[in-house]
Structure 1
Amino acid sequence: MTGRRLTRPTSLRGSNGVAFGPDGRLYVAQFLAGRISAVDLASGDVEVVVPADGPVQAPDDLAFGADGSMYITDLVPGRVWRRRPDGTFSLVTDQVRLPNGITCVGDRLFVNEMIPDGRLLELREDGPVVLTGGLAMGNAMQLGPDGCLYYPHMLTGEVFRIPPGGGEPELVAANVHEPVAVRFDQGGVLMVLSRGAAGIVTRLDLFGSGAESLVTSGIPGLDNAAFDTENRMFVSSYAGGGITELHPDGRTREVAPRGLAGPYGVTIDLGGAVHTADHYRIASPQGPADDVTTTELLTFVHGITADGDLLHLTSQYGQVRTYNRTTRDVRTRATGLDQPLGITVDGDGALLVAEAGAGRVVTISLDDTVAVLADGLGRPVDVALDEQGRCYVSDEDRGAVYRIDDGVPAVLADGLDRPQGIVVTGGRLFAAETGQHRVIAVDLATGERRTTAEIPAGEATDREQPALFAHGLPGVPGPFAGLAAAADGSLYLAADGTVRHFTPAETR
């Protein structure tokens, strides 16, 4: 039994830089998936043209040269690649820190850096040439009708321009809503995309009336845009993926459907609502028409557990945070942990966290004191509590699930193939055994185990891609299939782009 999907499948789980290729298709860089796809706008068909097992690890933006070559910014490794029309790759440079925005001007190639005090550079055969520095996190840029390069400062809400030959940057617009990309339509009007939850696009008619207006798309986490020859605007979303046509009046038409980027952890609150940790946001997979509702854009969320109005969250990059759904406040509970993943909360309000990189389980008290509950594990992925308050932990490296007795791990089940998410309900422990694409149930009293559900094979559980780090900034998170149980005994599995629901009858 594979359960019922709560969201539509999407072939673009996270979509970043977009550009039209010589064949008329829209090419999409997918940072989280580590690949590049091409979308046929007429049919919506999506083809992977640069798979995740190639030289490009974290593609974030792309542009096409005059000869049809695709130039790709490989964000985390700090590389820029050229993919020739025959499909062969060559490295343009590895001398750029967090390269993101990229554009071609004839035979010239320009990139900028998505870091504080970043640089805008021209990439020449004899090496990078700096046009200017001081970028407050650059991103998608484009040549304007006046022959200048336009680019955003993500941290300051500004847009600047500079001649391709260099010079003093000129401020074009200030107080722009969370700018992430600048794009010109076919009429020369500047569109500045916002990365915020409302999906705002600021329209600046710089070379005509000078008017400024806002379009609200409702698409959270806009990332980039491209205009076709008919001046239709197509946008991507780093948070929800997909490709959407955005009309001037704010109406939208999905070309490739949006969905979940991960998802990673999953939890059920007391009201029965499902919440997922989806890397860039907290999301609920129970929106209208099998859609996904964004609760909050909150970067780097991976583990999640509900606690009344609170959602406790981990990040594989070292943080544990608590999000208050009523006030929308975020409280940092711990930092500097080594890949914290699964999380749960005990009856006294203390947090228990599987610290995968350190091979241990830690507790975080109400006053945010961190203590070690158990160590000496391989790679603990998730934690769960039974009705007596006893702690269980899955260890994907050692293929086992342990019960923690007085700080000592005792084997409950071993010989498993990459167990990840776990949950305890009805006297049984359920574990997502991702290496075998199944969910197993282990009787806590007898140790008897059996398969209760199947996990469809997919990228999130199959792909072994560890987290990458460069220049102090995080990269692609590793896979993590989450499990949660509702009060009626039904199970929810977060993996491979969706959340699946298994009824109590399916898990018996």
Structure 2
Amino acid sequence: MVFGLAGSALAQQAAPSAQPAPAAKEYNQQFLVPGSWFHGVHGLAFNKDDQLFAGSVVGQTLYRVQVDSGEVDRVIDPPTGMADDIAFADDGTMAWTAFLLGKVYIRKPNGKTIEVAQGLSGPNSLAFGKDGRLFVTEVFLGDALYEVDLKNVDKPDFKPFARNELRRIAEKMGGLNGFEIHRDDGFLYGPIWFKGEIVKVNLETGASEVIASGFKIPAAANIDPQNRDNVYVVDTGTGGIWSVSLTSKAKRLVASMKPGLDNLAFDSRGRLFVTSMTDNGIYMVDKQTGSWRTIVEGKLAIPADLAVTTEGGKETVHVADVFSYRNVDGTTGAVTDVLRVHGETHSYPTGISVGPKHTLLSSWFSNTVQKIDRKTGKLVATFTEFAAPVDALEAADGTIYVAELATGNLVKVSPDGKTRTNVVKELRGPVALAQGAGTLIYVTEIAAGAVTQIDVASGARKVVADNLAGPEGIDVGPDGKLYVAEVGQKRVVAIDPANGHKVVIASNLDIGLAPFPGGPPALMPTGVAVSRSGAVYVSADIRNALYKLTPPSP
């Protein structure tokens, strides 16, 4: 990951000293959009007792889900619970991949958790063979298939394997994602994400053959326990669920859902369950009719940065929801999709702003800034090769200003994305940007605990507020004040940029999702957006909800 470049200073949040004055009366708080479980749901697997387990990467938690009631409880907490994929061995051992940590864990039936591999580049999918052997792939950050030898895990001197100590079976496959090992023939069956194929892999030689193709983005494949000639495939690019006959190679479309599906699992009765990272959902799909029943679902997946627009008196909140770009009605809380990741885009937005002509989506994970046409809602450009861009603003002339976490630079980018110059350097953990008057931009610096004003015309900068505990989202209100999410204190403060005077407008907020070791200090920025009416919208990343804060009655 790129964040090693940013140095350990980013993890240091400045301790607050001078306490801001409390408002005479704080703003009224309401949840405009209710919360939900998970933070994007990925891994999915049943144990031998037909209990369903689900994993979240950003939420760094492994959950157990009651398929009849939809009740959810935590099994393994952050950061160890980070699970992109989950698998069970016949003896009840559970294994999972901590994608962003580069680790593979197992939990023995006696409850003991053991780290069995480390230093992998994006460990993504894994499965046990019927003999208890464990296989794992790297996808996105790496591209290889390995075997993890578990023979000695119970010995007191066992140490997790480094990547170069694992048996590498194959590499440069094209992204072997959610796979399964057939109980009858012992071959691996799985999807090649970047080639749109389903392959059969010999686990001894690494040789593979294509058994089906023509998918948009196949994310996972599992064998139907009721008919082991059928492999079921979820296509995250289309939302399609397919079955493929291993003997005839015939494909059948089983169900059509929305893009963003990520995994699937069968229970012992052959019932099919799928996950949607975009909708924070788990669904049971009827293999005959293609209909589905929602087990659990969320309105938002991982709400991060926010923006707000007002047209005809109607306020619309724009949400960087990591697996989608969504709009929320500022009055009713109704949520609509604008773009879904892997449907219309392949970047994971964490930063958002609405400019004169375009909405800009930034992604520190994908290293991209994307331009969305405000009139059509269509993606018109994707700019790459940034160093962990956290936020971007569009000026009246189309120039774009991008804050990079990994370099600490504020970068001036031409409208076509080709010409780039640094406006300022050595920002101390930039998180979010807000447009001020004229050529002024405000940036929150989480490692410094400060808000800094930058004149992009001259490059002059000055600190307008400091002694903040974890400043993240920021916006300029109609009163000219800066509204900042002070995540370390779980509150929003209004700051007078002229003198730095702070007033608490909302406290005890459910904000500040914990980062993972080595990750960005503001894992998912707590977004703040202030409308013309003075309403303040805040993303509650801990509970996947959206706050609406309204000024108290005089």
Fold match (TM-score > 0.5): yes
1:105-504 aligned within 5 A: 105-106=129-130, 107-114=132-139, 118-125=143-150, 128-144=166-182, 146-147=184-185, 148-166=187-205, 168-188=207-227, 189-196=230-237, 198-206=238-246, 211-248=250-287, 249-269=289-309, 271=311, 272-286=315-329, 293=337, 295-297=339-341, 298=345, 299-308=347-356, 310-317=358-365, 318-324=367-373, 326=376, 328-333=378-383, 335-337=385-387, 339-368=388-417, 369-405=419-455, 406-426=458-478, 427-445=480-498, 447-454=500-507, 456-458=509-511, 461-465=512-516, 468=519, 478-496=523-541, 497-502=543-548, 504=550
SS in 2 for 1:358: coil
Shift in Å, 1:476:
11
What is the aligned partner in structure 2 of residue 12 from structure 1?
38
2: CA distance, partners of 1:95 / 1:407: 40
Aligned residue in 2 for 1:472 = none
**Measured at CA, do residues 284 and 312 of structure 1 come closer, stay the same or move farther in structure 2, by a change above 3 Å?**
same
Q: Secondary structure at the match of 1:404?
A: strand
Deviation at 1:131, TM superposition (A): 4.4
Distance 1:445 1:139 in 2: 53
| Kept after mapping to 1: 8 A contact 2:477/2:534 | yes
Matched to 1:139, the amino acid is N
Which residue in the other structure is 2:19 paired with? none
Q: Counterpart of 1:92 in 2: which secondary structure?
A: strand
User: Aligned AA for 1:341?
Assistant: V
Tell me what 2:16 maps to: none
CA drift at 1:118:
3.7
Query: What amino acid sits opposite 1:422 in the alignment?
Result: I
Q: Tell me by how many angstroms 1:234 deviates.
A: 1.2
Contact 2:262 2:274 in 1 (8 A): yes
The change in CA–CA distance for 1:250 and 1:273 in structure 2 (over 3 A counts) is: farther
Are 1:490 and 1:507, in contact at CA under 8 Å, matched by a contact in 2? no
**Cα 1:507/1:201, change in 2 over 3 Å:** farther
Q: Which amino acid aligns with 1:199?
A: G
Q: Distance in 1 between matches of 2:183 and 2:109?
A: 28
Greater fraction of residues in strand: 1
Range with bigger deviation, 385-394 or 220-229: 385-394
Deviation at 1:466, TM superposition (A): 5.7
Q: 1:69 aligns with which of 80, 90, 93?
A: 93
CA distance in 1, matches of 2:495, 2:142: 53
Question: In the aligned structure 1, how far is the partner of 2:472 from the partner of 2:508?
Answer: 12
- DSSP 3-state at the match of 2:406: helix
Calculate percent identity across the aligned residue pairs.
28
Cα distance change of structure 1 residues 3 and 117 upon mapping to structure 2, 3 Å threshold: closer
Amino acid at match of 2:322: H
CA–CA separation in structure 2 for the residues paired with 1:15 and 1:449: 38
What's the offset of the Cα at 1:23? 4.1
**Cα pair 1:281 1:301 within 8 Å, conserved:** yes
Aligned residue type for 2:364: Q
Q: What amino acid is aligned across from residue 180 of structure 2 in structure 1?
A: Q
1:354 and 1:78, CA in 2 relative to 1: closer, same or farther beyond 3 A? closer
- What residue ranges of structure 2 are gaps of 5+ in the alignment? 1-26, 152-164
Contact 2:278 2:301 in 1 (8 A): yes
After superposition, the Cα gap between the structure-2 partners of 1:506 and 1:67, relative to the gap in structure 1 and judged at 3 Å, is farther
Pair 1:39–1:307, CA change in 2 (3 A) = same
Q: What is the alpha-carbon root mean square deviation over aligned residues?
A: 3.0
- The answer on whether the counterparts of 1:199 and 1:221 sit within 8 Å (CA) in structure 2 is yes
Q: Distance in 1 between matches of 2:254 and 2:300?
A: 24
- Give runs of ≥4 in structure 1 deviating > 6 Å: none
Write the distance in 2 (CA, Å) between the matches of 1:95 and 1:399: 32
Corresponding position of 1:38: 64
- 1:60 pairs, out of 69, 81, 84, with 84
Counterpart CA distance in 1 for 2:305 and 2:61 is 23
Cα gap change, 1:97/1:363 in structure 2, threshold over 3 Å: closer, same or farther?
closer
- Are the counterparts in 1 of residues 261 and 276 from structure 2 also a CA contact under 8 Å? yes
Quick check: 1:115–1:138 contact (8 Å CA) kept in 2?
no
For 2:273, what is the secondary structure of its paired residue?
Answer: strand
Determine if contact 2:28/2:552 at 8 Å carries over to the other structure. no
**Of 238-247 and 25-34, the range deviating more from structure 2:** 238-247
Q: In 1, are the aligned partners of 2:356 and 2:396 still within 8 Å (CA)?
A: no
Give 2:160's aligned residue. Answer: none
Residues 1:93 and 1:373: Cα distance change in structure 2 (over 3 Å) = closer
| Contact 2:326–2:335 under 8 Å retained in 1 | no
Q: Which amino acid aligns with 2:242?
A: T
TM-score (norm 1): 0.87
**Deviation by residue 1:53-95 (Cα, 9 ceiling, x = unmatched):** 43x6x42111111221111223344432221122222233347
Structure 2: distance between partners of 1:385 and 1:327 = 22
Q: Retained in 2: the 8 A contact 1:117–1:135?
A: no
Shift of 1:376: 4.0
Distance 1:465 1:99 in 2: 15
After the TM superposition, which of the residue ranges 413-422 and 260-269 deviates more from structure 2?
A: 260-269
Q: 1:162 deviation in Å?
A: 3.2
Query: Residues 32 and 333 of structure 2 are in contact (CA less than 8 Å); yes or no, is this contact kept in structure 1?
Result: no
Alignment check: 8 A CA contact 2:122 2:142 kept: no
User: Which moves more between the two structures, 411-420 or 313-322?
Assistant: 313-322
Please say if residues 125 and 136 of structure 2, whose CA atoms lie closer than 8 Å, have aligned partners that are also in contact.
yes
Higher RCO (CA-CA < 8 Å; seq separation 6+): 2
Question: Does the aligned pair in 2 maintain the 1:428–1:443 contact within 8 Å?
Answer: yes
Residues 8 and 291 of structure 1 are in contact (CA less than 8 Å); yes or no, is this contact kept in structure 2? no
Match of 1:471 in 2: none
Helix, strand or coil: the match of 1:300? Answer: coil
